[in-house]
Amino acid sequence: MLKLPGLIDPHVHVREPGQTHKEDWDSVTQAALAGGVTMILAMPNTKPPIFDEATLNLALDAAKGKARCDYAQFLGAGPDNADWDRHKGLPLRAAGLKMYLDSTFGELRLDDMTLWMPHFEKFPKDFPIVLHSESRTMAAGILFAAIYDRPIHIAHVSLKEEILLIKAAKEKGIKVTCEVCPHHLFMVSQLTDEERGKKKEGRDEVRPRLATQEDVDALWQNMDVIDCFATDHAPHTLEEKDSENPPPGFPGLETLLPLLLTAVSEKRLNIEDIIQKSVTNPRKIFNIPEQPETWIEVDESAEYEIKAENQFTRCGWTPFEGWTVKGKVMKVVLRGKTAFEDGKVLAEQGYGRNVRQSCKTSPM
């Protein structure tokens, strides 16, 4: 039995408030524990989006009553909420600030670079700004990091040009970190170059879009540049995904570790890569306290097929249906208590802690 620290997923869409038919704090934290994830950082593009004290309280109150694993909640950068000097206590209660600079669905997209400036100027530098930014917009975000001399974290890197630019920025000492999602490491777009960007991919619709084999290969070849594995767990129902206009996003909390462990068995990764990119680096980047007496036990020899019917996510499907993987989570211990064992979630609703509230001090 392989023993690992509890994993941290820095990119999770909980869907509460506003779309609990897809997921809520209860179901998403059950899925997390089943996947060996003992802490999630929740994205702010809910309905309503999380961008001020009232909406942050709305999300955190729901989490306090329902969450079964530990968590923190991101604030969203909007066009009218950059006066962080007046609300200095608010960033201390959040996982960080999320800025949507490219295709997002909601009220938080910032199309004008003049709207970026006050957020870069005023959001506390002890906390990261996470950017949804793709291709040239990502390059602009890196320029902002250099101009304002502050750390940024690039979400869901998917393209060869992106990872090579991040590598170059790091070599120049710019304060940039990045994450990659399993679907961008293990899945390739089935569309031609001509179709890509013009045609919907049905259940495979996601943002950033699935890329080419050349892009996937570039991510694997530059694994040392990637700081974190993150799922971008973004559940939608099958009815929504099978519609004429499918929303982008995949569930991913329960398939993250099996896919990575399968890559280990194929000698594409090693166990230290998983620990570094799913525990050590997220903790450092997001200033997260350690979880005492927390670990997971995995049967690394267990080989099985991924099936949605065995998962806890409310959306009821997975893009990895039928994939054969190696490595099964058998037990999760969270803060000294068995939270998951033999396919059953044992942690109760409300057992999860808000790691910002429990810390209550400035970041590490």
Domain spans in the chain, listed from the N-terminal domain onward: 2-359
Return the closest-CA partner of residue 12 out of 126, 102, 95, 110: 95
- Quick: pLDDT tens for 171-197: 999 999 999 999 999 999 988 776 766
Report, as an integer, the average pLDDT of 275-283. Answer: 98
Which of 194-203, 204-213, 254-263, 298-307 has the least mean pLDDT? Answer: 194-203
Q: In this predicted structure, what is the pLDDT of residue 361?
A: 37
The predicted pLDDT at position 360 comes to 44
Backbone phi, then psi, for 304, in 5-degree steps?
-160, 170
Confidence tier at 235 by pLDDT (50, 70, 90): very high
**Nearest Cα to Cα of residue 178 among 156, 201, 208, 199:** 156
| pLDDT of the residue at 155 | 98
Report pLDDT digits (tens) over 314-347. 999 999 999 999 999 999 999 999 999 999 999 9
Model pTM score: 0.95
In DSSP terms, 5 is beta-bridged to 295
> Residue 88's CB: how many other CB atoms inside 10 A?
10
**CA atoms of 157 and 179, how far apart (whole Å):** 6
Model confidence at 363: pLDDT above 80: no
What band does 102 get if pLDDT is binned at 50, 70 and 90?
confident
Between CA 255 and CA 237 the distance in angstroms is 17
CATH 3.20.20.140 is held by the domain 2-359: yes
pLDDT over threshold 90, residue 224: yes
Q: What is the pLDDT of residue 111?
A: 80
- Rounded-to-integer distance, Cα 340 and Cα 357, Å: 24
Percent of the chain with pLDDT strictly greater than 70: 96
Do residues 134 and 102 touch, judged by C-beta distance below 8 A? yes
Query: Is residue 362 predicted with pLDDT exceeding 70?
Result: no
Alpha-carbon torsion 122, 127, 130, 136, what sign? positive
pLDDT (mean) for 3-31: 98
CB contact set of 259 (below 8 Å; sequence gap of 6+) = 182, 185, 186, 320, 323, 325
pLDDT score, position 321: 98
Considering all CA atoms of the chain, what is the largest pairwise distance in Å, rounded to the nearest integer?
54
Cα 44 from Cα 93, distance rounded (Å) = 13
Residue 118: strand, helix, or coil:
helix
Quick one: pLDDT at residue 103? 62
The answer to which of 29-38, 177-186, 200-209, 300-309 has the lowest mean pLDDT is: 200-209
Helix (H, G, I), strand (E, B) or coil at 171: helix
Mean pLDDT of 349-359: 88
**Would you place residue 104 in the very low, low, confident or very high pLDDT band (cuts 50, 70, 90)?**
low
